[in-house]
Amino acid sequence: MNAAESTTAILIHLAGAVALLIWAVRLVRTGATRAFGPSLRHGLARFAGNRVSAMASGAVVTLILQSSTATTLLLSSFAGQALIGLPMAFAVLLGANIGTALAAFLVSFELGWLWGACLAVGVALYLANEAMNRARNIGRLIVGIGLILLSLAELKTASAPLAQSPVFRSVFEALASEPLLAVAITIAATWLTHSSLAIVLLVASFWAGGLFPAPTALVLIVGANLGNALVPVVDQLGAPAVQRRVALANLLTRVVIALAVIPFAKPLAAWFAQWSADPTRLAVEIHLALNILGALVFLPFTGPIAALVTRLTPTTPAAEQRTRPLYLDPGLLDSPSEALASAMRETLHLGDRVGAMLKDMLPLLEHDKLALSREIAAADDGVDTIHEAIKLYLVQLSRRPLGEADSRRLFEIITLTTNLEHIGDIIDKNLRELAEKKIRKRYRFSDEGLAEIRELHGRVSNSLQLALNVLASRDITLARQLFDEKSAMRAAERRATESHYERLRSGVPQSLETSSIHLDVLRDLKRIHAHITSIAYPILEAADELSDTRLRKTEEQPAAGGYGLVLPHKPA
């Protein structure tokens, strides 16, 4: 094998080891989240009573999750729902920084024999449990730990020959002379992998292989810390200010640490080098020391830092806040049952918004309030925003392994949100425009016609509330009741239409001038009701309560009915 082929083989080996490390860290995180997610969240909420216990709980939770990013997103969700104050949430994050550094410290020990035991036990536990239960996810977690240990051994093997390459030595020597470039590269790598743990372990392996000196390793570790704090900030750019403040506070402190360390990288690296002669151990020890030091320095000042971040991120106006989703928590995506519960809460919130739009339509049709028309249009923009957020959240969730029950529930939620969004569009694009046309032309419905619209509107409003209850409870009796309402609504719309035609024949002036608007309102209310009743279909289908067709057999069909015409019999 010539030199070029040897270098290519080494790079492929290195790339595979890096990929294995990143994947293994993800396995540990998802396994821990699915196995212990609810318990970890309850633990955070329970022990966040004072700053010291809050910091300790953050360290323990992150040590289990192997991801301070997951902890940050979880705390951001808590803060967004006012379940925890910003100073206490920041104290938890200081502990989370220690937890992720402690995880890197523990897995970096030379335990070459342990990876095989972890894989054997983890795979056996995973395969022995077909359902997505806690034991299966614990097996996933143990497999991840085994793969981390294996990837570290492979990284050490792959990086050692690179230290003998003049090309790579030149590259890393150039990197050593440009600390800002080194920091930028590490930030980008951490953001791409969403794991400072993987990057710190990679830096430790490269340093142990002699690819760069101690000051460069220290700068790269600082860059990994910065990248780790930046990931949740970028992930939450569109979130409300109150939810983004937790991650921003953490990023602010990481920037302060970087500004304090990078200019003095050489003397600090020399001082740290006195601790250990093993660069692999020293890298993770430096990482742990920086995070412990940062926690001890900033813990007494959680209040002032929280006040500063609050001042830098003013609260979004209330009107804008109402157009944003309230319950979609990205930190729950690795726990499908909890993520579906969050999506359900957000869907019910969406249903309440659509119900408010529907409620406002009646006074708009009755009393010609143009200001109310503008409010309905603005409300539909909020409905579209929340619908899009729910849809994207469920798409992300669908990429995770889901059981049959969770998949069915996800489909039910998508069905409801899609129908709710269509209802909002009908209200905004059809009914609201019909009301404005009536206002511009100064038309008035007849008393009988307005009473018919009120009756149908009441039926539709009641059915919408019933549909939301059906989705929340999945009660078959309520689903059948909602489905039966479709026939009742169809009959009510037919009676209202026939009464309107009767008034036209009688020459009622208001009916003559509002005829097209009146009939369109009846039609649109019926369309809305059809969308509402279709919400019951997935639940009834799952319970085998629907027949394949509602059509009668040919010999059972009546001669005529509804609005159909009776065609004359044509002899053969």
In this prediction, residue 242 carries a pLDDT of: 80
Alpha helices in 177-240 (DSSP H): 179-193, 196-208, 214-235
Band (pLDDT 50/70/90 cuts) for residue 572 is very low
Condensed to tens digits (0 to 9), the pLDDT of residues 302-331 reads: 889 989 998 888 765 544 445 678 788 777
Residues 6+ apart with CB under 8 A from 509: none
Domains of the chain: 3-316 (no CATH), 322-547 (1.20.58.220)
- Residue written as token pair 């369109």: 520
For residue 171, the SS3 value is helix
Distance CA 567, CA 560 (A): 9
Confirm if 283 and 221 have CB atoms less than 8 A apart: yes
Condensed to tens digits (0 to 9), the pLDDT of residues 37-88 reads: 667 666 666 666 678 888 888 888 888 776 777 778 777 777 766 667 888 8
Confirm if 193 and 155 have CB atoms less than 8 A apart: no
Distance CA 523, CA 275 (A): 80
Condensed to tens digits (0 to 9), the pLDDT of residues 185-195 reads: 888 888 877 77
Q: Please provide residue 401's backbone torsions phi and psi, each rounded to the nearest 5 degrees.
A: -70, 125
Alpha-carbon distances, residue 41 vs 32, 35, 58, 68 (angstroms): 12, 12, 10, 14
What mean pLDDT is reported for the chain? Answer: 81
Q: Please provide residue 549's backbone torsions phi and psi, each rounded to the nearest 5 degrees.
A: -150, 150
Distance CA 449, CA 496 (A): 8
Confirm if 233 and 270 have CB atoms less than 8 A apart: no
Alpha helices in 299-403 (DSSP H): 302-312, 318-321, 336-367, 370-398
Confirm if 221 and 203 have CB atoms less than 8 A apart: yes
- Residue written as token pair 């396994």: 31
Residues 6+ apart with CB under 8 A from 560: 566
With 0-12 CB in 10 A as exposed, 13-18 as middle and 19+ as buried, what is 350?
buried
Instruction: Note the Cα 143 to chain centre separation in Å.
Output: 26
Distance CA 430, CA 522 (A): 11
Condensed to tens digits (0 to 9), the pLDDT of residues 21-40 reads: 788 877 887 777 777 766 76
Each residue of 488-525: b (16+ CB within 10 Å) or e?
A: ebeebbeebbeebeebeeeebebbebbbebbebbbebb
Alpha-carbon distances, residue 8 vs 1, 54, 546 (angstroms): 11, 48, 61
Confirm if 89 and 75 have CB atoms less than 8 A apart: yes
- The answer to whether the pTM exceeds 0.85 is no
Segment of 332-341, 458-467, 563-572 carrying the highest mean pLDDT: 458-467
Distance CA 57, CA 99 (A): 9
**Smallest Cα–Cα separation from 110: which of 312, 342, 264, 281?**
281
User: When comparing pLDDT for 514 and 8, which is higher?
Assistant: 514
Residues 6+ apart with CB under 8 A from 138: 31, 35, 125
Distance CA 471, CA 346 (A): 12
